[in-house]
């Protein structure tokens, strides 16, 4: 079983990789059969559609990295309990195409198995996220 320090290091490393756009670290951090879901109403379409499997999750991260820069990133809270972790972070999100930007907070809840993320559920302001999408 992965211990508390290892899980905390994994979460911090994955956050740093997202900010830096380091897909190699992100690929290593997620299990083959991992799940990813942004909590929210199905009316938000692809944003809140659950993803299952490494390839689909990595495609989402590649899209996020290509389209949205995270600046002034700060972890506000990080808790680990057994194989579960929660992290709340704040960042200024900038759309790479339109340059629209705003600051927001995100909460993520992760389950870790064998040193990799098996499940990630993310809570964010979905209306804010949709506003930053190109063409919105």
pLDDT, one tens digit per residue, over 61-70 is: 999 999 999 9
pLDDT number for residue 129: 64
Phi, psi of 111, rounded to the nearest 5 degrees? -120, 135
* Residues linked to residue 79 through DSSP beta bridges, in sequence order: 86
Q: Mind listing the pLDDT tens digit for each residue in 49-86?
A: 889 999 999 999 999 999 999 999 999 999 999 999 99
Mean pLDDT of the chain: 90
pTM for the full predicted model: 0.89
Closest by CA position to 29, among listed 2, 47, 49: 2
End-to-end Cα spacing for the chain: 45
Domains recognised in the chain with CATH numbers: 4-132 (3.10.450.50)
Reading the block at residue 24, the tokens are: 């190699």
- What confidence score (pLDDT) does residue 1 get? 47
Q: Phi first, then psi: give them for residue 3, nearest 5 degrees.
A: -90, 170
Q: Percent of the chain having pLDDT more than 90?
A: 71
What is d(CA 17, CA 61) in angstroms, rounded to the nearest whole number?
Answer: 10
Q: What is the CA radius of gyration of the chain?
A: 14
Measure the CA–CA gap between 110 and 122, rounded to whole angstroms.
9
pLDDT band at 48 (very low <50, low <70, confident <90, very high): confident
- Six token digits for residue 67: 């389209």
pLDDT band at residue 4 under the 50/70/90 scheme: very high
């Amino acid at each position: 079983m992965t211990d508390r320090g290892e899980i905390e290091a994994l979460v911090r490393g994955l956050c740093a990789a997202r900010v830096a756009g380091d897909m190699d670290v992100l690929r290593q951090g997620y299990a083959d059969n991992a799940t990813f879901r942004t909590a929210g109403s199905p009316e938000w379409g692809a944003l809140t559609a659950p993803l299952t499997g490494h390839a689909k999750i990595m495609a989402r991260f590649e899209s996020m990295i290509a389209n949205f820069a995270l600046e002034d990133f700060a972890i506000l809270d990080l808790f680990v309990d057994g194989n579960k972790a929660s992290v709340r972070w704040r960042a200024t999100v900038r759309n790479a195409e339109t340059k629209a930007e705003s600051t927001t907070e995100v909460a993520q809840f992760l389950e870790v198995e064998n040193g990799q993320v098996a499940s990630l559920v993310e809570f964010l302001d979905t209306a804010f996220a949709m506003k930053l999408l190109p063409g919105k």
